[in-house]
Structure 1
Amino acid sequence: MRKIFKTAMMLVVLLSFLALPGICLAEEYAAEEEVKKEEMKKKEESEKGKKKEEIKKEEAKKEEKTKEEKKAFELEEMVVTAPEVQGAPGRTVLITKEEIDLKNTQNAIKILEHIPGVYLRPDKRTGGQINIRGVAETKTVILLDDSILNDSFHQKVFWNIIPIEAIERVEVIPGPFSALYGGRGGIGGTVKFITKMPEKEEFFVKGVYGSDNTRRGTASYGNKLHDKVSFYLCYDYMETDGYVTDYITKSAKDGAGDIPVTGWKKTTDSQGNPMYLIGDKGDTETWEWSFLSKLKFDFSDTSSMTLTFSPSQWNYGGGAAGLDDPNSYLRHASTGEPVNSGNITFNDDGEQKNIDLGTATFLGGKSERSKRYRYTLAYETEFTPDFNLRATVEYVDEKKRGIDIAPLAGATSSGGPGKLTRFPFDRWQGRIESKVLNIFGFNNLTLGADYMTEEGGRRNYNEMTNWRDESTKGEMSSKSDGTNSVYSLFVQDEMILMEDRLTLYLGGRLDSWKISDLMDWTTVGDIGTHTYKDRDETYFSPKGSVKYRAFESTTLRLSLAKAFTAPRLHDTLGGASSANYMLLASPYLKPEKATCWEAGVDQTIFDKTLVMATYFENYLRDFQYREYWTESGIRYGVSKSGGKARIRGFELGIKHQITSFISAYANMTYQDTEVTEDKQNPEKEGKRMTNVPQEMYNFGLLCENYAGFKGSVTGRYVGKVYGDSLNRDRKNHVYGSYDPYFTMDAKVGYEIRKGIEVSFAVDNLLDKDYYQGWRAPGREFFGEVVYKF
């Protein structure tokens, strides 16, 4: 038994050893199976997690889409505030690039059209003229960055050559309450266009086509390289066939003439005197281009230098324009052929009338070609976070400024005699400005100096043999030259008190003006050569302003300032502009001065509505006027100063955020003006000032962005304006009148895909026919395509 048991045990052990590898393999297989099961389980759980994540993302997208859709119909929690120019006293206006793009902005002046207190008068050559609170554009500082844009000769701005797409924002300070700008201009206020400098690569191209065969193209490119060098290039070109703005009207004499005609139309001038409309001077064809190039070097995080070169050219009228292709409405009573010259005759209500037409009657327009080159160097550095310095110097070359050509008697559309006038100018200007912040924890001090000196005059030439060929001009018949300089010191202290609730501004300007090297000579009237003594004057303009936030939703404003504007060379130099007209030099013309104040309130209601109100008064003295007389068949004119005037008015405005992307605004301006003293012409006393409307109203509905759409609908009413200093031009809707008018504009744009936008716009939607001296444009259509990245 024992042997059997031992044999059995040995057999079991032997079988065990034989089975061990299988058991091990089985265990390994079982372990592997467990691992596989675990991995499959994890994989299934992962896939379930991914599916859940995808479901969550889909749900999030749906929720986001639902939120976006709800935004179209529900108000978000938004607080409407008045966009202000930082560090500026009084009422200020800040216009962003986004707001500019919402409207049909074909030239830079349109950006200012709906600001309370701003009157925009359309201008066929410059693009328009502005008047702020009754003060002309020539007494307002218009800046592109730190460059004065007011034309050196007339101090007007050629708005069409400002590249709109280069503008990043616009800052407007009505009135002379900022001490930082003035000297030559500043009574009306300051308008500053600030151009962009890209921080990364950007490309932009735009094409516009509109009414009157208007074509506009803009292309820009900018970038920043190696965090040290930035550059920006912008080219803008505009060309248009134009429309009829100038009409030919004539007064008639009693009695029969030589050529019987039809086609005339009885009308009046703006004072109601009988006139006859006999034709027009053709379409105001225009072309112009501008180029803005900026190069910036960052020496460090706190110091940089910027170089700017900006050439531009504009051409109005002349061989490439419609002004040399006029239209006669007159037809020969027998043959039906057009009549352009001769002694015409016609019957008006039983009375025989006659008009003498010279051969150049229908060539009464003139051409103008001008070139401008602007060179600017700017340096800025930050010594500490609270102490910085900026300096600029600029040269403006306008030596090819103002080539005016006018056909004379005997000329035809193909050639003949004419007259050429030039206005060569150049200008140097510089500025240094330093800011010291947080003095004593509440003071921000700005102080600096600027200067401007310009040289130039008029050049008139004897009769051209061919008015279409500039090289045929004769010898110089008259000349005038002079130098105009203004040197200024300024300081402005901003004090922020009472936990940011009270802000005080105290400052002033010391302006020193000098006019020198004045001379003129002419062969007209045997006047000969004259030289004049140098003159200078120094004037201090104090400024003060307070802003008080009485409540979180209420801000009160009060400002008081004096201002100074130096005379223009245009008025002091004089010169002949025709064979029988002579503007005499005014070497003793005084600078114009003003005392101005304003008071206002900004009130926010329920965070969605902003109401603004401002009352202002301007008191002007030594303001300029022109006196005329005739001797020996020659008409003379001279500019004089010494008058006084008063402007008082108020501005009301409201802005309401309807939804997160739709807003509406409305504002109105009332201006009561009066000439209070004019010793040379007492009959002007008590009359309204010229070129100032008594009332203006604006409204607008803006859509910023909804499902790729954006646009605007705006309206504007302007009351009666007088162009005659005695207010005799009361007749409206005739050539030469300044009519009250109401217009509406609209624009809608759509982003087809990221970077590509199309838009369609209509100006003067209701096709209102009105005059602002000349005929204003009727309904105009514009289509626009934009590509950018």
Structure 2
Amino acid sequence: MRKFVIAFGRRGATRLLTAVVVSVVTMVFLEVVALAAEVPELKEIVVTATKVQEKKENLPVSASVLTESDVRNIRSTFADEALKYLPGAYLKRAKFTATTSNVTLRGFPAENRTLVLLDGQPLNDAYGGSLEWSAISLERAEKIEVVKGPFSSLYGGYAMGGVINILTRTPGERQVSIRTAYGSHNTFCQDLSYSEKIGGLSFNLYGGKKWCDGRRTAYIIKSAKEGSGEVKVTGYKETKDKYGRPCYLIGDGGKNYWDQAQYGAKFSLSLREGSELSLRMAHNWRKYGYRDPRSYLRDENGNPVDEGKADIGGRYIKIKPYNFFKSYGIVRNDCYSLRYSTSLGEDVKLEGRASINDNLSWWVQAQNGATQQGGPGKIDWTEPNRTVEGELRLSIPFNLLGKGSILTTGLNYRSDRAASKRWELADWLDEESKKTREPYSRIGGKVQASAIYAQLRVKPIERLRLFAGGRFDWWRNYDASLSDEGNLTRYEASNSSHFSPTVGILYKPGFDLGLWRLERIRASWGTAFRPPTIYELYKTWSFWGRVYEANPELTPETSTSWEAGFDQTLLGTRVSFTHYQSRLENLIYYKLITEKHKQRQNAGKGTIEGIEIEVARSITPWLHLSGNLTYQHTEITENPGDPESVGKQFQLVPKGMHNIMLLFHKAGWSASLAWRYASKVYGSSDNSDTQEGVYGSYDPVNTLNAKIRYAVTEHLELSLAVDNLLDREYYEYYRAPGRSFFVQGEYKQ
């Protein structure tokens, strides 16, 4: 087995050493001033890890729980932002108006290798396995559970790095809630909620609105050629691209605006003691785009230049008006979930769930010849993008090798349907100006999947818990076709299957030496998989004369993972340590067929190895300190499809992350101060985008964020949040916001 080597580099090592020294000194100081401070017991109940209610301390895996209070303590407008301080979780979000934000776990790249649930309903969509984080109404969340590691044994595909489950509140007594917030860049967030309970029926109705004028984040950079131009210009700025090559900043695509509306409802009906029927409905709509694009180039009379050969002194830049135009589009999401649970006897529980996740999106891009007044364009439309899913689950307690054993078994069904279409537009400013009735390009397909799973937990002795389980998934790809400029290709149906086993062990030694108490030792092993998506199987496209071909013969990506760790209390401080490792196979990459032709193939293998350290301490009843550190080594070990990626770090996966948070709560006041760091990531598979501080680069994230809340009365709360307190400049492809603020008022009656 390859030796695990920590190789941060000089700058990374300095940051790591600083974080460790600060943590150690702080902990020692706190021990001197508060040796006898009580440590709050961890009583969180987790459902996601086993599909039955378990205390977090009784799990064989690393898990995190964010309560509603935890979320309110930090500035988090969207659900993905609430996860940014968790160990092993990496958030990629450069701005409020980000349309491709995602959260990844345990070094697994791309959001379709992490499963995201809403009350158990899968949100990874039918087309590409991605999801719309902004569609999740964070205001409705009661808690968020994050379990890391392979969970295909319970959840099937996508659960390679772990599972994120957002659990919404069950409506209670009558309550009216009004929340309004204002932030930098003319950002508004408003939410109205009404809850009521009438006999055994309780319900919640809500509506919300978010909009933002946005910032100028999409810069226009161009390389220059030797020779003379047609008009001498000023206003350009010398810079570099993400690969370190010289180029020129000549303009921007405008202010990136955002306009979003949400509404929904949740009904809960208590039929009898131990039985409940609930219905959740949620609608989300948002529009995004860019306003007022600018060319920075000026001629000798000070007029803007956006077309022709711009002379910059012995060199020239060739530009056209459409170079300054960025895309705009609409996203719509509709989620429905019907759930029934009942008790069939002492601790015997039956649950059923049926859900629909229906998505639509389109985006428009200007083409050569377009101007600010109109001209040619194209529109890409994804519809349908629908998942119909259902599950039936039974939990049965019994005595096997002692009391406390439980068997959980279930059936799962999922049906996916997706299609992507493209039209040419006569006017890129009018999405209705399609040149033809039928799209000139269309791909589509369907997937039907069934699964059966079982998991057994036994408790042979009081201090020992053993876990074992597995899931068999079978799926069928069918009714797939590609239509390209009148040429129709139909693909044959195909079947595939995968079995995902898992085992785990938890031991509570009860070893107590006063200042040091070893509470838990845990270990687990399992396999996981990700089936190829409809996009990967059938979407063939071209760009600048290069063809990127889909492959209906793709097989699932697979991983084998294990972790081991312990939880202890040392000098009054809770400390958790986890070591994890994964081996990935059949990774899907584009393989070079000819100079201008690539095809998706199962070509890659890779490894992940890492550690997570968590510390937490209550200094006083009103002051709490916590921190975590993640270091992981990711490496592509084999890839005939992309040989330059071998030996390189996974794309968009950091090596190191750490978070330190100080929480204060006393007499109606609450405050948080959080330091977040994530090392540089790479956007290219060969890690050649090494340049930092330029448009398109992915720089280290190193920010200090704060939030203060004050309960003015029992019903009214005010808050102020400031992100990036030190006003650091960095890029996550787009230039990240500088120091920014949010003020919020919330009234509940």
User: In the alignment, what sits opposite 2:719?
Assistant: 759
Matches within 5 A, 1:293-692: 293-317=265-289, 323-332=290-299, 334-347=300-313, 352-363=314-325, 365-398=326-359, 401-424=360-383, 425-440=385-400, 441-462=403-424, 464-475=425-436, 476-499=439-462, 501-523=463-485, 528-551=487-510, 553=517, 554-576=519-541, 580=545, 582-606=547-571, 608-627=572-591, 636-692=597-653
Larger radius of gyration: 1
Deviation at 1:198?
2.4
Asked whether 1:209 is paired with 2:175, we answer no
Superposition TM-score, scaled by structure 2 size? 0.89
User: In the alignment, what sits opposite 2:8?
Assistant: none
Q: How far, CA to CA, are the matches of 1:90 and 1:604 in structure 2? A: 18
Deviation at 1:517?
1.5
Could you say if the C-alpha distance between residues 251 and 130 of structure 1 is closer, same or farther in structure 2, counting changes exceeding 3 Å? Answer: same
Q: Provide, for residues 81-111 of structure 1, a one-character-per-residue CA deviation record: whole Å limited to 9, x for no partner.
A: 4846243541111111111111111111111
Deviation at 1:78?
4.1
Give the match's secondary structure for 1:154. coil
Pick aligned residue for 2:62 from 91, 113, 116: 91
Deviation at 1:248?
0.5
Matches within 5 A, 1:763-774: 763-774=723-734
Whether the aligned pair in 2 keeps the contact of 1:125 and 1:316 (CA below 8 Å) is no
Give the match's secondary structure for 1:734. coil
Deviation at 1:456?
1.6
Asked whether 1:150 is paired with 2:124, we answer yes
Pick aligned residue for 1:191 from 139, 156, 164: 164
Q: How far, CA to CA, are the matches of 1:80 and 1:377 in structure 2? A: 34
User: In the alignment, what sits opposite 1:15?
Assistant: none
Asked whether 1:251 is paired with 2:223, we answer yes
Q: How far, CA to CA, are the matches of 2:98 and 2:124 in structure 1? A: 15
Q: How far, CA to CA, are the matches of 2:568 and 2:39 in structure 1? A: 15
Matched residue type, 2:690: R
Q: How far, CA to CA, are the matches of 1:82 and 1:598 in structure 2? A: 23
Could you say if the C-alpha distance between residues 580 and 679 of structure 1 is closer, same or farther in structure 2, counting changes exceeding 3 Å? Answer: closer
Matched residue type, 2:448: S
Matched residue type, 2:447: N
Deviation at 1:208?
0.5
Deviation at 1:73?
9.8
Matched residue type, 1:152: A
Number of residues of Structure 1 aligned to a counterpart in Structure 2 = 693
Whether the aligned pair in 2 keeps the contact of 1:672 and 1:694 (CA below 8 Å) is yes
Q: Provide, for residues 26-84 of structure 1, a one-character-per-residue CA deviation record: whole Å limited to 9, x for no partner.
A: xxxxxxxxxxxxxxxxxxxxxxxxxxxxxxxxxxxxxxxxxxxxxx9997644444846
Asked whether 1:128 is paired with 2:89, we answer no
Q: How far, CA to CA, are the matches of 2:78 and 2:642 in structure 1? A: 39
Deviation at 1:143?
0.6
Asked whether 1:265 is paired with 2:237, we answer yes
Whether the aligned pair in 1 keeps the contact of 2:590 and 2:641 (CA below 8 Å) is no
Deviation at 1:330?
0.7
Q: How far, CA to CA, are the matches of 1:590 and 1:338 in structure 2? A: 52
Higher share of residues assigned helix: 1
Whether the aligned pair in 2 keeps the contact of 1:591 and 1:622 (CA below 8 Å) is yes
Q: How far, CA to CA, are the matches of 1:144 and 1:222 in structure 2? A: 20
Whether the aligned pair in 2 keeps the contact of 1:176 and 1:563 (CA below 8 Å) is yes
Deviation at 1:771?
1.0
Could you say if the C-alpha distance between residues 620 and 73 of structure 1 is closer, same or farther in structure 2, counting changes exceeding 3 Å? Answer: closer
Matched residue type, 1:616: Y
RMSD: 2.0
Give the match's secondary structure for 1:160. helix
Matched residue type, 2:183: G
Q: How far, CA to CA, are the matches of 1:625 and 1:575 in structure 2? A: 14
Q: How far, CA to CA, are the matches of 2:546 and 2:423 in structure 1? A: 14
Asked whether 1:718 is paired with 2:678, we answer yes
Whether the aligned pair in 2 keeps the contact of 1:306 and 1:377 (CA below 8 Å) is yes
Whether the aligned pair in 1 keeps the contact of 2:125 and 2:387 (CA below 8 Å) is no
Q: How far, CA to CA, are the matches of 2:60 and 2:167 in structure 1? A: 19
Matched residue type, 2:248: Y
User: In the alignment, what sits opposite 2:7?
Assistant: none
Could you say if the C-alpha distance between residues 642 and 178 of structure 1 is closer, same or farther in structure 2, counting changes exceeding 3 Å? Answer: closer
Asked whether 1:181 is paired with 2:155, we answer yes
Q: How far, CA to CA, are the matches of 1:288 and 1:572 in structure 2? A: 32
Matched residue type, 1:587: P
Deviation at 1:126?
3.4
Whether the aligned pair in 2 keeps the contact of 1:75 and 1:659 (CA below 8 Å) is no
Q: How far, CA to CA, are the matches of 2:746 and 2:496 in structure 1? A: 51
Superposition TM-score, scaled by structure 1 size? 0.85
Q: How far, CA to CA, are the matches of 1:346 and 1:423 in structure 2? A: 42
Whether the aligned pair in 1 keeps the contact of 2:466 and 2:506 (CA below 8 Å) is yes
Long gaps (5+) in structure 2? 1-32, 47-52, 512-516
Whether the aligned pair in 2 keeps the contact of 1:141 and 1:148 (CA below 8 Å) is yes
Whether the aligned pair in 2 keeps the contact of 1:197 and 1:222 (CA below 8 Å) is no
Give the match's secondary structure for 1:550. coil
Give the match's secondary structure for 2:632. strand
Give the match's secondary structure for 2:440. strand
Matched residue type, 2:310: I
Deviation at 1:127?
6.5
Asked whether 1:110 is paired with 2:75, we answer no
Q: How far, CA to CA, are the matches of 2:450 and 2:546 in structure 1? A: 35
User: In the alignment, what sits opposite 1:47?
Assistant: none
Deviation at 1:722?
1.2
Matched residue type, 2:499: F
Matched residue type, 2:724: N
- The answer to which of 202-211 and 297-306 deviates more is 297-306
Deviation at 1:662?
1.3
Deviation at 1:580?
4.9
Deviation at 1:250?
0.7
Q: How far, CA to CA, are the matches of 1:495 and 1:203 in structure 2? A: 45
Matched residue type, 2:62: R
Q: How far, CA to CA, are the matches of 2:204 and 2:598 in structure 1? A: 47
Give the match's secondary structure for 2:99. coil
Deviation at 1:225?
1.0
Deviation at 1:311?
1.2
Whether the aligned pair in 1 keeps the contact of 2:125 and 2:386 (CA below 8 Å) is no
Deviation at 1:146?
1.9
